[in-house]
């Protein structure tokens, strides 16, 4: 690839990410129905015409965001499962990664997924794909937990249910901190403690 082509691709990728980040904030704040394309473009000083070089429609932006969120989730749990170390090390790495980002962005992503599953404007096929992608990632987490149960690290029980409890606890803490009432300094050890056979 020529240097100019690389530079063009880099600029295009940066602009795509800029639009996506702006859209995530607006959709989370106003919802799909309340969001106008102008809300997104004005927040990053972008023309309507240029936005349509990257996305076909408001729904295209929305669905692309959801796909990206689910892809990142799946990549992270897969990387954790494929990493070296004990099941504890793997889940510790994933938990640390989960809480290393912005709680505000985590809240925005959570709101988007919840709205999408209830949205009338999305097809049932898209909603089913969201559920399937999330379930697939949950299964990978359950493999880590199951391996930890085998090694006596994690408590007994249905591994999928324990993965759901773990994620619910993680998300709950993230959402709590995003509210700004009373900040909790979250550690991976605290989040994982309910799963440990010998805390």
Res 64 pLDDT > 90:
yes
At residue 2, the pLDDT reads 56
Chain segment 158-170, per-residue pLDDT in tens: 999 999 999 999 9
Q: Residue 196: phi, psi to the nearest 5?
A: -75, 135
pTM for this prediction? 0.86
Average pLDDT score over residue span 8-15: 80
Q: How far apart are CA 66 and CA 62, in angstroms?
A: 7
Residues 6+ apart with CB under 8 A from 33: 121
Structural domains of the chain in order of their starting residue, each with its CATH number: 1-55 (1.10.10.60), 57-195 (1.10.357.10)
Chain segment 134-185, per-residue pLDDT in tens: 999 999 999 999 999 999 999 999 999 999 999 999 988 888 888 778 888 8
Q: Residue 154: phi, psi to the nearest 5?
A: -110, 155
């Amino acid at each position: 690839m020529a240097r100019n082509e690389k530079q063009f691709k880099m600029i295009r990728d940066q602009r795509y990410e800029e639009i996506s980040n702006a859209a995530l904030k607006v959709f989370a704040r106003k919802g799909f129905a309340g969001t106008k394309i102008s809300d997104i473009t004005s927040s990053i000083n972008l023309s309507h015409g240029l936005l349509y070089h990257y996305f076909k429609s408001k729904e295209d932006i929305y669905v692309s965001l959801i796909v990206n969120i689910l892809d990142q989730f799946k990549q992270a749990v897969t990387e954790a499962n494929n990493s070296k170390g004990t099941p504890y090390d793997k889940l510790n790495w994933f938990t640390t990664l989960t809480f290393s980002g912005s709680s505000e962005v985590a809240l925005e992503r959570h709101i988007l997924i919840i709205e999408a599953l209830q949205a009338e404007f999305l097809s049932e096929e898209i909603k089913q794909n969201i559920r399937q992608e999330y379930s697939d990632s949950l299964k990978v987490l359950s493999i880590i937990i199951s391996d930890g149960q085998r090694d006596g690290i994690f408590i007994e029980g249905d591994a999928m249910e324990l993965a759901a409890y773990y994620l619910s606890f993680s998300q709950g803490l993230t959402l709590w901190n995003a509210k700004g009432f009373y900040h909790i300094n979250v550690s991976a050890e605290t989040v994982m403690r309910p799963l440990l056979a010998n805390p």
